Amino acid sequence: MKQSKNWILVSAAVCATVVVALTAPLSALSHNDDKALITKANALFKPLPASDALENNELTPLRVALGKALFYETRVSSDGRLGCVTCHNAAYHGADALALSVGIHGKVLPRNAPTVFNTSLLLAQHYGGNRATVEEQAFKSLLSPLAYGNTSNEQVEVKLAKLGYAPLFKAAYPSDTKPVSVENWSRAIGAFERTLMTPAPFDRFLKGDAQALSKSAKLGLEKFISTGCVGCHSGVTVGGQSYQKFGITKDYWLITGSTPKDAFKGYDKGRFHDTKNEADAFMFKVPQLRNVAVTAPYFHDGSVETLPQAVKVMAQLQLGKQLPDEDVTHIVSFLEALTGDIPADFAKVPRLPAAPH
């Protein structure tokens, strides 16, 4: 499933090089020179697209509608209570507001659930990056003991047919000889999630509307760049396009207050748990910062409750800097400008099919 992402900004390594070039003259930039700041911002970030269609999976209305129904469907899980919407709720801006999410049978999971908005644009899914696309995430969740908990793909397909989904699958994938399939389950959910974009005031600023950001947010954007945050948090999703060690200056739990987890037999070591490569120890996918102001708590384990605290933690752990409160206040103002409206269709609960008698 190759994604069309030509508009995504260059990798973090190249971004770091760009940052060095851009940061030097920034200190001399007048806070009122909006045009210059917009130009600098456009060298590091990009506005959100309207959607993120795959080259081989057209986002037709029928596929998106089916994907939305499946996103809200809980009867496919082994306990009949869990669906995508369980951890990605409109009330919490596509997340669940919990430090650690809850899976089937009420089992507390070892990691925090990030927002589902804009996630198809990211480098990969999950903090360890063990799912390449939103389609792969949907596909593998069906048999995951932490998610839907089914025992086989055939079991899932039988459930979907019994629940009355056959006509919807046939309408969405009319040329398939077997429309009701786990492959089409994943494609449909992926189609729906690829429409969940949340353009924000920052996007209007990038497109030339200098009044889209407050003075404090503009100062925060300048600080965000000059402090070095853009070394990892850049591109269309303001992060999410690279892996980085969490805890460059010291072990992260010394600052975040994180605790060991049984699932990891100690502290969470990020990608290492998937790759078993020591080089990946404590490497995590850099989170996107879009909607970060409304998706607390923060980090892979939800160990930090407030955004100002999270900004201070990141500056200390990743950059070795103690930020003044004033800088933190401005950076938070900028991050608040990354909050977009909840997609209108996402908040409307769909009418799910009734099982035929």
Predicted confidence (pLDDT) per residue in 301-340, tens digit: 999 999 999 999 999 999 999 999 999 999 999 999 999 9
Q: How confident is the model at residue 143 (pLDDT cuts 50, 70, 90)?
A: very high
Say whether pLDDT at 343 is over 80: yes
Whether residue 142 is predicted with pLDDT greater than 80 in this model: the reply is yes
pLDDT band at 157 (very low <50, low <70, confident <90, very high): very high
The identity of residue 224, as a single letter, is: F
Assess whether pLDDT exceeds 70 at residue 6.
no
- Give the DSSP H/E element, type plus range, for residue 244: strand 243-245
Instruction: Give the residue-averaged pLDDT of 62-75.
Output: 97
Give the model's confidence band at 2: pLDDT under 50 very low, under 70 low, under 90 confident, else very high: very low
d(CA 6, CA 83): 32
57 pLDDT band, cuts 50/70/90, is confident
pLDDT band of residue 205 (cuts 50, 70, 90) is very high
The predicted model gives 107-118 an average pLDDT of 96
pLDDT, mean of residues 236-263? 97
Spell 20-35 as b/e; 16+ CB within 10 A means b. eebbeeeeeeeeeebe
Query: Residue 35 — very low, low, confident or very high, per pLDDT cuts 50/70/90?
Result: very high
Query: Across residues 135-159, what is the average pLDDT?
Result: 96
Per-residue pLDDT reduced to its tens digit, 179-195: 999 999 999 999 999 99
What pLDDT score was predicted for residue 30? 56
Q: What is the pLDDT of residue 3?
A: 43
Give the separation between CA 33 and CA 16, rounded to whole angstroms: 24
The band of 357, judged by pLDDT with boundaries at 50, 70 and 90, is: low
CATH of domain 61-193: 1.10.760.10
| 117 three-class SS | coil
CATH of domain 12-48+198-336: 1.10.760.10
How many beta carbons lie within 10 A of that of residue 196, not counting itself?
23
Of all residues in the chain, the percent with pLDDT exceeding 70 is 90
Using the predicted structure, report yes or no on whether residue 164 has a pLDDT greater than 60: yes
Domain boundaries, the chain: 12-48+198-336, 61-193
Q: What is the pLDDT of residue 26?
A: 43
Q: β-pairing, 243-245 with 283-285?
A: antiparallel
Q: CB-based burial of residue 194 (10 Å sphere; 0-12 exposed, 13-18 middle, 19+ buried)?
A: buried
Domains 12-48+198-336 and 61-193 equal at CATH topology level: yes
pLDDT-based confidence at 53, cuts 50/70/90?
Answer: confident
Beta carbons of 55 and 187 less than 8 angstroms apart: no
Supply the mean pLDDT for the chain.
91
* Over residues 111-130, mean pLDDT: 97
Closest CA to 88 of 352, 353, 346, 301: 346
Question: What is the predicted pLDDT for the residue at 28?
Answer: 41
DSSP secondary structure string for all residues of 254-308:
HHH----BGGGTBS--BTHHHH--GGGTTEEEPPP-TTGGGS-SBTTTT-B--HH
**Residue 245, helix vs strand vs coil:** strand
Is residue 14's pLDDT more than 70?
Answer: no
Got the DSSP string for 155-207? HHHHHHHHTT-HHHHHHHSTT-SS-SSHHHHHHHHHHHHTT-----HHHHHHT
pLDDT of residue 159: 97
The pLDDT of 139-164, averaged and rounded, is 96
Judge whether 86 and 74 are in contact, CB under 8 Å. yes
The answer, yes or no, to whether residue 12 has pLDDT greater than 80, is no
Other beta carbons less than 10 A from residue 273's beta carbon: 17
Task: Note the pLDDT of residue 56.
Answer: 73
**pLDDT (mean) for 233-252:** 98
pLDDT attached to residue 27: 41
Q: What is the pTM of this model?
A: 0.90
Mean pLDDT along residues 54-58: 78
